[in-house]
């Protein structure tokens, strides 16, 4: 994420704690590489990917926590993400959309609903990604912007992450 974007998503000390908590609940990420001449490069982003998501301090870029996730990008532009960064009993699978930007670059947005231990819907986590796929099409990197919404649709926290991914085959 550029320093301009990092500053845009910077949060106060209190919000940083909330962001970390949010990313712990809804961890997902992805990273994309460009496509070129190989078999996988012709698929671009489409397919399944194994990733490592790193939650970062938006001000300094310092890594706060890392965990695995699996992302799928389906033909037609739908996206699905599951993660070890959240308790499955407290959050839904992330669902969303992706699109090709240009060259080896893509964007994706996913939403997941987060619940209290009592089963009450308390937040929606939106993860917006800027993805760059490798030349051989077997890896990608991305930057992630997190927005956490309350049940009324108000943004209550923002955060930052990056991820690296490899094609799952």
Helices (H), the chain: 3-8, 13-25
Q: Say which residues have a Cβ less than 8 Å from residue 167's Cβ, sequence separation at least 6.
A: 40, 47, 48, 49, 50, 137, 138, 139
Q: What span, in angstroms and rounded, lies between the C-alpha atoms of 51 and 90?
A: 21
List the pLDDT tens digit at each of the 169 positions of the chain: 443 333 333 333 333 333 334 444 444 333 333 333 344 556 799 999 999 999 999 999 999 999 999 999 999 999 999 999 988 999 999 999 999 999 999 999 999 999 999 999 999 999 999 999 999 999 999 999 999 999 999 999 999 999 999 999 8
Domain encompassing residue 17: 3-167
Q: How far apart are the first and last CA of the chain?
A: 28
- Listed in sequence order, the DSSP H helices in 26-168 are none
Total of domains in the chain: 1
CATH code (residue 12): 2.40.160
């Amino acid at each position: 994420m550029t320093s301009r974007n990092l500053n845009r998503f910077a949060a106060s000390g209190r919000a940083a704690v909330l962001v970390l908590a949010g990313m712990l609940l809804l961890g997902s990420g992805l990273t994309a590489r460009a496509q070129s001449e190989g078999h996988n490069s012709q698929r671009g982003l489409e397919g399944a990917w194994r990733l490592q998501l790193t939650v970062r301090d938006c001000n300094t870029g310092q890594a706060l926590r890392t965990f695995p996730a699996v992302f799928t990008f389906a033909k037609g532009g739908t996206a699905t993400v599951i993660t070890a960064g959240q308790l499955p009993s407290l959050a839904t699978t992330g669902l969303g959309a992706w699109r090709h930007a240009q060259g080896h670059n893509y964007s994706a947005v996913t939403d997941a609903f987060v619940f209290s231990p009592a089963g009450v819907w308390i937040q929606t986590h939106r993860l917006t990604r800027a993805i760059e796929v490798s030349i051989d099409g077997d890896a990608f990197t991305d930057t992630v912007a997190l927005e956490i919404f309350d049940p009324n649709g108000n943004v209550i926290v923002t955060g930052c992450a990056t991820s690296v991914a490899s094609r799952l085959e």
